[in-house]
Amino acid sequence: MYLKDFNQMVKCRFFDKEKGLDESLRYVEEVKTSGFCTQKDFGSIAVYPDNGELVVQINANKWNLLSDSVDVNYFHVYDKKLTTFRIFEQGKKFDLTYTSWWADRDDFDVDPMAASCEEENSEEDIFGYLKMLKENKEAANNLLGLWSKNIGQ
């Protein structure tokens, strides 16, 4: 299946659930996409439909994002310009602290009182996007339906 590259929305990558992301990029207009992906220093991240579930796959680990047993944390440590993302379920977890997407931006007003709820998180950071999907089940279910229709096309 093809997944849009989160950092280059006009491009996509082929994704295999077992092998991961293909390195080559294609323009989105050439294929139908079924989710989002990106490549980071630690590996790959993908969100896609699989058998009626909205799956988050980070390297080889998979979670059903819409399951009540899956917890997602996403927060900023403003004074250090760091962001932490965690996804976990019954002993299976992924935990990462990294430089915040806004750390070097002059146009971003740091607001610790916002408690990591800035709308831009889901637009600028794939982990912020995953947190938004976890909190907004209606949007997540709509995408699940749309993306499921595109698989295999």
What pTM does this model have? 0.89
Q: Hey, which bits of the chain come out as E strands?
A: 2-5, 8-16, 20-21, 26-27, 36-40, 43-50, 53-58, 61-64, 71-77, 82-89, 92-99
pLDDT tens-digit readout, 60-93: 999 999 999 999 999 998 889 999 999 999 889 9
Query: Which of the pair, 25 or 65, is modelled with greater confidence?
Result: 65
Q: What would the mean pLDDT of 124-138 be, rounded to a whole number?
A: 94
User: Tell me, what amino acid is at 60?
Assistant: A
Q: What is the pLDDT of residues 89-125, one digit of tens each?
A: 988 999 999 999 989 887 777 765 555 556 788 989 9
Structure tokens at 10: 């006009």
Distance between CA atoms of 95 and 86, rounded to whole angstroms? 4
